[in-house]
Amino acid sequence: MKKRNGFSLLELMVALGILCFGVLSLTSLSVGVMKANKYSQNKTAALQLAQEKMESMKSLSFSELQGEVESGLTIGTVGTLFQRETIVQKDSSLAEITVRVFWPSASKPAHFHSTVLSTQIAG
């Protein structure tokens, strides 16, 4: 009996199955990496917005310090709408400034991520 060179249909199907499994695994991995990258971009932008506000609050005199809420802030090319909240708690000689920046979660509706910066200023 003559031995044939080449692959049988079963061998080709197994090889194709292994190849498809590998491609699908890489696809799902790349989707996870893209989500993590977007979260990192948003976190960096939120920290930048919080730091920017904190620096502007530090430049004010003690009597000018007051809280506020700002909505619809965007930064760079991130494309996410941020909300920034500044809370000032004062007594006669000390002010605590807290800046919170919120942004919506891309994967969970009605869920928000946030970052917070806080400092104290003597008056």
Judge contact between 75 and 47, C-beta under 8 A.
Answer: no
**pLDDT above 90 as % of the chain:** 20
As a whole number, mean pLDDT of residues 38-46 equals 90
Establish if 3 belongs to a structural domain.
no
Question: 97 in the Ramachandran plot: left (φ > 0), alpha (ψ -120 to 50) or beta?
Answer: beta
Question: How many folded domains does the chain comprise?
Answer: 1
Establish if 49 belongs to a structural domain.
yes
Distance CA 32, CA 105 (A): 14
Structure-model confidence comparison of residues 22 and 78, the more confident one: 22
Retrieve residue 117's tokens: 């910066």
- The pTM for the full model equals 0.72
As a whole number, mean pLDDT of residues 72-86 equals 77
Establish if 4 belongs to a structural domain.
no
How sure is the predictor about 17, in pLDDT bands with cuts at 50, 70 and 90?
A: very high
Establish if 2 belongs to a structural domain.
no
77-102 burial code (b ≥16 CB/10 A, e <16):
ebebebbbbbebebeeeebebbbbbb
Establish if 72 belongs to a structural domain.
yes
Establish if 36 belongs to a structural domain.
yes
Domain that holds residue 83: 9-122
Establish if 95 belongs to a structural domain.
yes
CATH number of the domain within which 76 lies: 2.20.130.10
